[in-house]
Chain A
């Protein structure tokens, strides 16, 4: 069984994100970049499926400029077998990404596509679902457990108030939630091996997709600074403020 995993290059989760002075976008100058954490969980899940003998090949795909090859190499160092970069300049929006992924899916014909539930930069939570709609494949989103069983995959989903398990007929799409697994740390021998693994570069034209933007980013601004707290004299005053000013009780 072939597994396709999508990974996105995003600002490292440890970095404190700043808006550009003119508010046109997030400032990415000299900022540390990394694999989107949910995508890393997707890679780990695919590699575990391979280690269990369920998957035979793990293909990792990223959509972006040449720099996103770094994240593909990271995924290869975690155990994926080969990489595909779809060359797109700038920030591709979810619908474009989903269309490009559909092209890759048609080319590669994987039985399972694993994506992060969302990327920590755009926070859209759309790509997996859009890919489901475009390909007609079943989808199990927000997965906390993935069990492949014959021609089906059982996906336990984290939903409001509990868990829901769905059975999907393969081929299917899974999007990962935080608790699906804890990704491993790349070992040095695997980092060295990753350098020799194949990495193909495709253009949107190769996949028959026209990159067209439907969204215009108008403005990026930092959250308002927290205003200073106050000291209350006694419990009565506290209750009064909570009731009449904060209106929380």
Chain B
């Protein structure tokens, strides 16, 4: 049992932190204020090969695992880039997994390299209004037509849809009532985000303004047959494969954000002198921060355990969910405590911790709520009856 990073993993962490040091706190503050996508950051990470960290070498990736990908996105968040930085690049890390696993050789070569190089941007269109986490009930309909499908429907919370050229889309190809099981009849597509048939509306939201989330209105979008990933009707099964990596990465990012918040707070507490002594000399300041450190680092162990289980081909559903839950809760506590440590200045944007607090709410609620994770653990681990 080894809890330390390997030399290679440590190398990756150091290299990512160093790469990210080109992008200052002010860079992220300005992008949060303007709502502008961090194009320079995204492109520089793509050009340096980081987007393909977990993709096989045959499609231009580095062939490493989700553990290394988690270490990477964690360092990205920890650099001060937070969720804005992480969400601008993490899509390709886990969303391309279905193409890599279920796509044909032709699809892999056509679809994956342009995303990894940064030439194209993608979004992941699954969630729908009124359906929430009950994914099998989603209503977007892909009707079979000559040479492909015609799609109509609505999607919500689609990150980066306003800047993307490609879209991974889950839509119903067989009506629910005609399916034996509700998990059947959904199909997965990776296709052009054709703005003539897709209207987007950015959702005004609490934080991570540089990386927008959208409502999508899809009307009569044609998707050619060759853009369907895997067999028709198997879409739900296919996207399930990507869910654990997504939870692991979000958990790792929450840890990164928690770490940078604690670091900023501790630095402020060392330097800020009130009543002739640094405020960090007070246990009332020290203990909450020390407690946050302990919580964040212990949550990290669960996240990394899930990652190494995933890479070893083991079922890591429970660990990935528990890790995401713990990381987000600990990260939230860390960001909140950091703000309180800075007192009034914590509320000022120029000290950055208020931005972290707004951003940590993302991994706390997404991609799955803490409530649903606790339901899952109660049911799967404790064998308690399903409550919903």
Residues in A lying within 8 Å of B, measured CB to CB: 70, 73-74, 77, 185-192, 195
Is B222 on the interface with A (CB-CB < 8 A)?
Answer: no
A194 nearest CB across to chain B (Å) = 9
Task: Contact check, A188 vs B11: say whether CB atoms are below 8 A apart.
Answer: no
Once bound together, how far apart are the Cα atoms of A192 and B63, in whole Å? 10
Max chain A CB contacts within 10 Å: which of B15, B22, B62?
B15
CB contacts under 8 Å to A, within B42-56, are 44, 47-50, 52-53
Task: Contact check, A192 vs B15: say whether CB atoms are below 8 A apart.
Answer: no
Task: Contact check, B18 vs A191: say whether CB atoms are below 8 A apart.
Answer: no
Task: Contact check, A192 vs B62: say whether CB atoms are below 8 A apart.
Answer: yes
Task: Contact check, B8 vs A77: say whether CB atoms are below 8 A apart.
Answer: no
Contacts of A188 in B (CB 8 A): 12, 15, 48-50, 52-53, 62
A77-B15, A185-B15, A188-B53 as given contacts; A195 in contact with B47, CB under 8 Å: no
Task: Contact check, A185 vs B11: say whether CB atoms are below 8 A apart.
Answer: no
Task: Contact check, B49 vs A187: say whether CB atoms are below 8 A apart.
Answer: yes
Once bound together, how far apart are the Cα atoms of A28 and B372, in whole Å? 46
Once bound together, how far apart are the Cα atoms of A74 and B13, in whole Å? 13
Task: Contact check, A186 vs B62: say whether CB atoms are below 8 A apart.
Answer: no
Residue of B nearest to A195 (CB): B8
Query: B interface, by DSSP: helix, strand, loop or mixed?
Result: helix
**Chain B positions 31 through 51: 1 when the CB is less than 8 Å from some CB of chain A, otherwise 0:** 000000000000010011110
Contacts of A186 in B (CB 8 A): 15, 18-19, 48
8 A–B contacts, CB within 8 A, in A order = A70-B11, A185-B15, A186-B19, A188-B49, A188-B50, A188-B62, A190-B49, A191-B12
Among B11, B18, B19, B62, point to the contact of A189 (Cβ < 8 A). B62
Task: Contact check, B53 vs A185: say whether CB atoms are below 8 A apart.
Answer: no
Once bound together, how far apart are the Cα atoms of A67 and B272, in whole Å? 37
Task: Contact check, A187 vs B53: say whether CB atoms are below 8 A apart.
Answer: no
Contacts of B52 in A (CB 8 A): 188
Max chain B CB contacts within 10 Å: which of A188, A190, A195?
A188
A192 nearest CB across to chain B (Å) = 6
Once bound together, how far apart are the Cα atoms of A74 and B63, in whole Å? 20
Task: Contact check, A73 vs B15: say whether CB atoms are below 8 A apart.
Answer: no
Once bound together, how far apart are the Cα atoms of A192 and B52, in whole Å? 12
Once bound together, how far apart are the Cα atoms of A100 and B343, in whole Å? 55
Contacts of B48 in A (CB 8 A): 185-188
B52 nearest CB across to chain A (Å) = 7
Residue of B nearest to A184 (CB): B48
Contacts of B18 in A (CB 8 A): 185-186
Among B15, B22, B47, B63, point to the contact of A191 (Cβ < 8 A). B15
B9 nearest CB across to chain A (Å) = 11
Once bound together, how far apart are the Cα atoms of A188 and B52, in whole Å? 9
Once bound together, how far apart are the Cα atoms of A73 and B14, in whole Å? 12
Contacts of A189 in B (CB 8 A): 49, 62
CB contacts under 8 Å to A, within B114-132, are none
